[in-house]
Amino acid sequence: MAPRSQNLKHRTRYSHCSQPLTRHTSRAMGRIFILLFAVLSLGWAPPALAGVELSFHSFNGSVIAGRYPHTFVMMRGTLDGTGEAVDENYGFTAKKVSMAILRGPVEHDIMIETPEYLAKTNRHFSVTISDEQYHRIVSEMRAWRDAPGKYYDLNTRSCIHFVGTIASIVGLRVEYPDKMQRRPKKWLNHITALNPQLGASAIK
């Protein structure tokens, strides 16, 4: 009978020793997982969303501000290839506003709007553009800006035609109805209707 009693005691001691060992192992593994999570959290962050948003704006005009109706584009975001921040806006305009504009081509300029002015404009729609499209737009802007002679023409090379050219670069359908040549907001509403994929509504 003695051997059976010894075996019983041995089994009892074994079972009592195994329980603390299991708790200790669980705690140790828990600490390891927590440590790994902390290290990964410090050393890894989700990549920032890159891309440049191109938006199309119009201005209703203001007698007080001395501004005629106008349209222009704005680009904001980050270039995918370089991480360079972009915050630019361009509009094509006559260098001097006078009655000469009604008689034919006049000297031209690229107008860059201030934040205060931007807040007063109508934002019709926006599209996300690639780095290549961004560089094409900048190149096109420089071509209009640096064109020799008198390049602004109210009927063929106005702010509307400049913005329309940029819209074409990013694949939008563009038209220039005669009755909208001097009505930028109505014209951009027309472009909105021509491109239902934008999911935009007309500005009233």
CA–CA gap between residue 123 and residue 136 (Å, rounded): 22
Question: 111-145: per-residue pLDDT in tens?
Answer: 999 998 899 899 999 999 999 999 999 999 999 99
What pLDDT does residue 72 have?
Answer: 98
Low-confidence ranges of the chain (pLDDT < 50): 1-21, 24-25, 28, 37-48
Q: What is the pLDDT of residue 66?
A: 63
Buried b / exposed e over 22-44, threshold 16 CB at 10 Å, is: eeeeeeeeeeeeeeeeeeeeeee
CATH class of the domain comprising 51-197: alpha beta
Tell me what pLDDT residue 30 has: 54
Cα–Cα dist 62/122, whole Å: 13
Write b or e for each residue in 129-168: b if 16 or more Cβ atoms lie within 10 A of its Cβ, otherwise e. bebebbeebeebbeebeeeeeebbebeebbbbbbbbbbbe
Q: What angle do CA 113, 54, 193 make, to 5 degrees?
A: 105
Residue 122 Ramachandran class (φ > 0 left, ψ -120 to 50 alpha, else beta) = beta
User: What is the reported pLDDT for 27?
Assistant: 58
Residues 6+ apart with CB under 8 A from 40: none
